[in-house]
Amino acid sequence: MALKIIFMGTPDFAVPILKSIHESKHKILEVYTQPPTKKNRGLKIQNSPIHDFANKLNIPVRHPISFKDDIEIKHIKTLNPDIIIVVAYGKILPEALLKIEKVLFINIHASLLPKWRGAAPIQRAIMNMDRESGVSIMKIVPKLDSGPVLLQSKIKIFEDTTYKELAEKMSKLGGKLILDAIKLIEDKKDIFVEQNESEVSYAKKIEKSECKINWNKNANEVIAKINALNSNLGSWFEINGNRVKIIQAKEIKNKKGKPGTLLDENFTIACANNAVQILKLKKEGKQQITAEEFLRGTQIKIGQLLN
């Protein structure tokens, strides 16, 4: 029996999951996403990736600013869905919505719950140098990411794994796992297991203040931050008073110096332990370039201390 589904999501991460559900036998009634934003000083309105993708699929889209009034709740009741699936929607669903009778609310979360509840589980897992993460499908309850779990699947994290790579793997895995979950629900074989509260950790939102490189950290910690932030805010430092974002770098072992010092012509910078060689970077407002291209146009000397 085909189930009636409302999908709630916003970023690119949610797109493969929406696609997977759309290609199944189940019916997507509507898509909810974050409202369009103004780009380039208001000259252009930009939809979310999910909004654009839903338009391509001819699925009706709604983007309420909030659920504070009863309009959306009443609307959802009239649609009479079986399941509401939430993937990185970016809004907390109010308790009044979650109390709609005979509707199962489930969330696809990018971590192995109860580890890394919250806004930035992929980035935090990489920054923490975890060696695995995964995808969890859980029932939504009022407390953040604390609902009982139906399914989980693991993904390995390597030393050079970046946010973009891990997010893409998790998104594809989520697209497969959600169909397994829907099948269990359809067959009335869904068993939700409570999370172990003693093992909880939180993946708080990445603050801009965290993005500056601290060369007094060990090189592997610096690399982990660069890999975690390379597709969004970006890790940065200053050269001659100008901010530079690091896109790609690698650890150089057995290379020492005062933390923050440029050690050689290969753009190797000393850390507390070992060093980091910058491979790709980006000046503010400029295109990404290689370290070699950057050094040709920048006055910087071996032994110079970088902020």
As a dihedral over the C-alpha atoms of residue 55, residue 61, residue 66, residue 70, rounded to 10 degrees, the angle is 180
What are the structure tokens assigned to 207, written together? 């603050």
Q: Check residue 122 and give its pLDDT.
A: 97
Contact 59, 28 (CB under 8 A): yes
Q: Check residue 44 and give its pLDDT.
A: 82
Fold of 4-199: Rossmann fold (3.40.50)
Separation CA 39–CA 33 (nearest Å): 17
Separation CA 51–CA 175 (nearest Å): 18
For 209-296, CATH number out of 3.40.50.2300, 3.40.50.300, 3.40.50.360, 3.10.25.10 equals 3.10.25.10
| Upstream peptide bond of 114 is cis (omega within 30 degrees of 0) | yes
Which residue ranges make up each domain of the chain? 4-199, 209-296
**17 Cβ contact list (under 8 Å, min separation 6):** 9, 85, 87, 108, 171, 174, 175, 178
Under-50 pLDDT residues of the chain: none
Separation CA 82–CA 66 (nearest Å): 22
**Chain Cα centroid distance, residue 81:** 27
Q: Check residue 270 and give its pLDDT.
A: 97
Q: What is the pTM of this model?
A: 0.94
Q: Check residue 42 and give its pLDDT.
A: 61
**Chain Cα centroid distance, residue 183:** 26
What does the chain come to in residues?
307
